Amino acid sequence: MLQSLTADQLTALHARRKCLTSLVDFPVLLWSGGSPSRNFPANRYPFRASSHFLFFAGIPIVNAVIRLEGDRLDLFMDEPGPGAALWHGPEPTRDELADTIGADSAFPLAALADKAEGAATLAVQSPNAGHRQADILGRTVAQPTQANGIDGQLVRALVQARLTQDEASLEEMRRAVDVSIAAHEFGMAATAYAETEAEVRSAMEGVLLGHNMTMAYNSIVTVHGEVLHNEVYHHPLAPADLLLADVGAETQSGWAADITRTWPVSGKFSSTQRDLYDVTLAAHDACIAAVKPGVEYQDIHLLACEKIAAGLVDLGILKGKAEDLVDQDAHTLFFPHGVGHLLGLDVHDMEDLGDLAGYAEGRERSDRFGLGYLRLNRPLQTGMVVTIEPGFYQVPALLHNPALREKYVEAVNWERLADFADVRGIRIEDDVLVTETGAEVLTANLPCEAEAIEALVAGT
Ligand code: GLY
Ligand code: MN
Ligand code: MN
């Protein structure tokens, strides 16, 4: 069926195209890509169009190219082959799709060869399509992080065009957020009767799928929250466990939400779980309160580090002054990752461009442990959407590392830490829009205070 666009969405697409073409003085070609096959050609992974294509075309179209120049948009794609109607049903024609996305004209892919001269492009993301792209262009295309010449200029223009969100993209992200919130609420309520992580995962993903959305990334639903990107779901749920769920929806046109909540399987945090939950929440709240235009995101990360360190000092787990502990990276024993990232069409928006989007020109990743994992290091701008996602983890690979134990022998009260053995991982993650005056928490309708979480798990 043909996905349609509203008048407002079309207006937004025109404005985005105009923004991009005003930043460059050459035509731009953007490939949607195809879907890789899993094990034989007819068995394919679900199609996910390139985000750069979606940003300007608005809908996913398989193996299509858009050419942008001045006010013009041309669509290049082949009509479905013979037999397609048998297996895939009637599909929209090239002209219908061109009409839907507001293209000026539409041509077969082969016609692109004559329109590619002097045009900049990005490497098509599906590996099989790379040869076809090179054939059509008569040149190979470097990966975005290696791109130079006009392709490199295009990468920088795309970053500028996509760094802040317009009303149409925010509307889509709010839709993704609403469905993700429903999924988290359902997951919490489902915990009472679930016996494994897999059952909670299926309850949560079922909500996304039931709204005809999909997962913006592989869901993390685990009692081993200390495994930062845990993607196994077989563990049984025990009453004393905390369950960490990092689950976000993606709309049909590709816009993402990214939410994490952590809740007690029993429905009630133990006192030690509650203490560490509240430390994480204090860091989360302080970071959100600090979001406003002009603030350096790295400073927000460092604020999270300091709040976590201070909370751990109060609990007797760390020893010393929070500021000094952060200077020594002692907090990274428990909070080793960055406080968040850009969010948009990609869950880590534009990370296909390496750090070109996440890091301001001239900035590079730190070589400090922890800080080096920070994915965003720019001053915040009105219209950016970022995540705020501090956490507390007991990662055996860090805490049992002899060199780290030696390094932090004075900083950590290891005996006291043993009292908190019922906490493996806690993360609280919200999606935050930078506004002119501060921040709007897009995910605010999903509470994160401990009592409210307990009430949701109890289904009240
Ligand atoms: N869901 C992955 C992340 O939070 O970065
Ligand atoms: Mn995230
Ligand atoms: Mn997440």
Last residue of a domain, one of 145, 162, 179: 162
Same domain, yes or no: 365 and 408: yes
* Closest-lying ligand 1 atom to the alpha carbon of residue 427: 4
Same domain, yes or no: 82 and 190: no
Please report the pLDDT score of residue 1 as a whole number: 55
Angle at 273 between CA 270 and CA 274, to 5 degrees: 85
Chain-centre distance for alpha carbon 313: 32
Asked if residues 332 and 370 have their Cβ atoms less than 8 Å apart, the reply is yes
Token output for 253? 């046109």
> Does ligand 1 have an atom closer than 6 angstroms to the CB of 217?
yes
Put simply, whether the predicted model's pTM sits higher than 0.85 gets the answer yes
Please report the pLDDT score of residue 115 as a whole number: 94
DSSP 8-class letter at 358: T
Q: Does the residue 2 lie in any domain?
A: no
Token output for 346? 């990609």
β 242-247/249-250 pair status: unpaired
CATH number at residue 402: 3.90.230.10
Asked if residues 236 and 199 have their Cβ atoms less than 8 Å apart, the reply is no
Q: 29: closest CA among 74, 59, 60?
A: 74
Same domain, yes or no: 381 and 450: yes
Asked if residues 241 and 222 have their Cβ atoms less than 8 Å apart, the reply is no
Burial group, residue 79, by CB count within 10 angstroms (0-12, 13-18, 19+): exposed
β 105-107/43-44 pair status: unpaired
| DSSP H helices in 164-317 | 167-190, 197-210, 271-290, 297-314
Same domain, yes or no: 101 and 201: no
Query: What is the domain extent for residue 139?
Result: 7-162
Q: Does the residue 369 lie in any domain?
A: yes
* Closest-lying ligand 1 atom to the alpha carbon of residue 258: 1
Q: How far apart are CA 297 and CA 340, in angstroms?
A: 9
Same domain, yes or no: 142 and 266: no
Instruction: Beginning with the edge strand found earlier in the chain, give each strand of the sheet holding 385-388 in spatial order.
Output: 385-388, 430-434, 439-441
* Ligand 2 centroid, distance to 341 Cα (angstroms): 6
Residues recorded for the chain: 460
* Ligand 1 centroid, distance to 390 Cα (angstroms): 11
Please report the pLDDT score of residue 2 as a whole number: 64
- Looking at the 3D structure of the chain, how many domains does it have? 2
The list of the chain residues with pLDDT below 50 reads none
Beta-carbon count within 10 A of 189 CB: 17
Same domain, yes or no: 214 and 348: yes
Report pLDDT digits (tens) over 433-444: 999 999 999 999
Q: How far apart are CA 259 and CA 103, in angstroms?
A: 35
Give bridge partners of residue 388 from the DSSP assignment.
Answer: 430
- Among 246, 301, 393, which residue has the most ligand 1 atoms within 8 Å of its CB, making it the best to mutate? 246
Same domain, yes or no: 141 and 194: no
Report pLDDT digits (tens) over 405-438: 999 999 999 999 999 999 999 999 999 999 999 9
Please report the pLDDT score of residue 460 as a whole number: 80
φ and ψ at 262, to 5 degrees? -130, 130
Same domain, yes or no: 99 and 243: no
Task: Report the chain's terminal Cα–Cα distance, integer Å.
Answer: 40
Report pLDDT digits (tens) over 140-198: 999 999 999 999 999 999 999 999 999 999 999 999 999 999 999 999 999 999 999 99
Same domain, yes or no: 108 and 252: no
Please report the pLDDT score of residue 398 as a whole number: 97
Q: Does the residue 1 lie in any domain?
A: no
Distances (CA, A) of 427 to 221, 244, 281, 307: 12, 7, 9, 14
Last residue of a domain, one of 162, 185, 216: 162
Asked if residues 333 and 409 have their Cβ atoms less than 8 Å apart, the reply is no
Chain-centre distance for alpha carbon 230: 16
Last residue of a domain, one of 113, 139, 162: 162
> Does ligand 1 have an atom closer than 6 angstroms to the CB of 47?
no
